[in-house]
Structure 1
Amino acid sequence: MSFRCTRFIPPIKRCFTGTLISCHTSKNPLLSAIPQSWRPQRSAMGISIITMRDRSKNRKPTQRGRYLSIEGIQAVQALKRAKVNGGLDAVAHEIETKVRRLVKFDLVSVLRELQRQGEAILAFQVFEELRLEHWYKPQVSIYVDIISVLAKSGLYEKVEQVCSYLKTECLEPDTEGFNLLMKTLLEYGFTQTAMDCFRLMKLWESEPDEHTFRILISGLESNGDKDIAIAIRAEAKKELGRPLEFFEE
């Protein structure tokens, strides 16, 4: 007759389970500081389970041309320090040593960040470097952004200089981009430059639409250029085959 030796395991008292941390939650000031998602949770079996959230799920994906790399951040900071401490000569040195070493998307990101911060003269310097890159492909939207920040800062000569570049660029058809460009120019009183862009958009096969003529007529009339506005009204009627009712008195 054989006997099987079994090991006796005493039952775990219910009052013990889950008391390592959870039973003292309300009395322990240190534990009350622990985020709710980190605190132990009692399961159906009476066992305390500690869970932690994956914070990586809350991070937004990096987008090219928008978020700055470490090199991009360093370039922006170096340019701003140079402008304050050493003037344009110091800025030129930082552009040569830091900006020109940036890869394509970092350079675009630096330009956008400087524009966002209202650093007009620094943005202009980086824009000049951007145009020299072999991969640079001119886009009207880039011109709109740089012209806007220059105009807001009162750098009107730079605005005219940037607009002169448009005459030498090989631009893709972009009626919407030209519309925004002309609207920006008219808002800051660049009537003749806006009209030059209007003629230029036709050269690059960006056909004016109804919105184009509305922007021009409204801007010209606001700036007091009544005669030019009348001429544009007539041209709009010819191009569209009908008068613009929005502007009919």
Structure 2
Amino acid sequence: MQIAGLVSRSRARCIADAYLFANRSLFSKSLRSSITAPLFSPPPTQSTTSDAFGPKLGCVRAYHDGRPRGPLWRGKKLIGKEALFVILGMKRFKDENEKLDKFIKTHVLRLLKMDMVAVLTELERQGEVSLAVKMFKVIKKQDWYKPDVYLYKDLIVALARRKKMEDAMDLWQNMRQEDLFPDSQTYTEVIRGFLQYGSPADAMNVYEDMKKSPDLPEQLPFRILLKGLLPHPLLRNKVKQDFEEIFPDQRVYDPPEEIFGLR
């Protein structure tokens, strides 16, 4: 019995030694492979929908790339949550003056400088010019406000494009009182607006103001006037003479008078 027990114990010891040796060799192989392998192995290439169907269908990308969609994304990405809330609130109460004034006192006046300017710009972009005028008046009352021709320009152009010429001229006068001159685009849009509004005399007043500007005039507002003043030959001749003096190398096209019924 003792001899049998000794034999079984020696046999078990041999089996255990063999098992440990085998595991040790496997561990050493895995360790060597992990040392020699690169730290970051590239992921296995997978065929995407665009790779499989792009050449056949002629499309560059057949899947959504995760970028946001919609016309308002660019504006929303730059506007804070409070500014967006103010825009929605002002649009909600735009037809109720009392509620709108209360909303401006309780929410608009709490905005920071950049948020106020962002609200003004977004209202102009959305075509809410009446609300934009209210917002601009709020901005002018702030301590940090300084006369800025670009704030005036964008709002005046937005008003002129919607033929709100009375509001545009009120801002124009305020801008001139602050000794600011607009650029050529502003002159062009206001002159075009008055011509479409049926007020050539007001268009000429803006034109005379343009000639006093310290910046060199451009051709576009002249050509807008020359085209819009065809039914008014006396005013047109005056603009034509100025144009030929300032731009001697340019020509002015004079259509036959009978086309416009001037004879």
Please classify the TM superposition score into its range, dividing by the shorter chain length: 0.5 to 0.7
In structure 2, what is the equivalent of residue 169 of structure 1?
Answer: 178
> Which consecutive residues of structure 2, in runs of 5 or more, have no partner in the other structure?
1-16, 27-41, 46-63, 256-263
In structure 1, what is the equivalent of residue 90 of structure 2?
Answer: 79
Q: Indicate the larger mover: 199-208 or 176-185.
A: 176-185
CA contact (8 A) 1:220 1:228 kept: yes
Change (3 A) 1:89 1:64: same
Quick one: which of 247, 251, 254 aligns to 1:245? 251
Quick one: which of 236, 251, 255 aligns to 1:229? 236
Structure-1 separation of matches of 2:195 and 2:239: 14
Answer 1 or 2: which has greater helix percent. 2
CA contact (8 A) 2:163 2:193 kept: no
In structure 2, what is the equivalent of residue 92 of structure 1?
Answer: 101
Structure number with bigger Rg = 2
**AA partner of residue 237 (structure 2):** I
TM-score (norm 1): 0.64
In structure 1, what is the equivalent of residue 44 of structure 2?
Answer: 43
**AA partner of residue 251 (structure 2):** E
In structure 2, what is the equivalent of residue 48 of structure 1?
Answer: none
Percent identity, aligned pairs only, is: 23
Greater RCO (Cα-Cα under 8 Å, separation 6 or more):
1
TM-score (norm 2): 0.61
- Does 1:5 pair with 2:21? yes
> Which consecutive residues of structure 1, in runs of 5 or more, have no partner in the other structure?
10-40, 45-54
Change (3 A) 1:174 1:194: same
Structure-1 separation of matches of 2:148 and 2:81: 26
CA contact (8 A) 2:157 2:186 kept: no
Give the superposition deviation at 1:181.
3.7
CA contact (8 A) 2:194 2:203 kept: yes
CA contact (8 A) 1:144 1:181 kept: no
Structure-2 separation of matches of 1:186 and 1:169: 26
Q: Indicate the larger mover: 224-233 or 128-137.
A: 128-137
In structure 2, what is the equivalent of residue 131 of structure 1?
Answer: 140
**AA partner of residue 87 (structure 2):** V
State how 1:135-146 maps to structure 2 within 5 Å.
135-139=145-149, 141-146=150-155
Structure-1 separation of matches of 2:237 and 2:210: 20
Structure-2 separation of matches of 1:77 and 1:181: 29
CA RMSD of aligned residues (A): 3.7
Structure-2 separation of matches of 1:138 and 1:198: 22
Quick one: which of 112, 119, 143 aligns to 2:121? 112
Structure-1 separation of matches of 2:210 and 2:217: 8
Give the superposition deviation at 1:107.
1.5
**AA partner of residue 147 (structure 2):** K
Change (3 A) 1:150 1:209: closer
Residues matched between the structures, number: 200
Give the superposition deviation at 1:144.
4.5
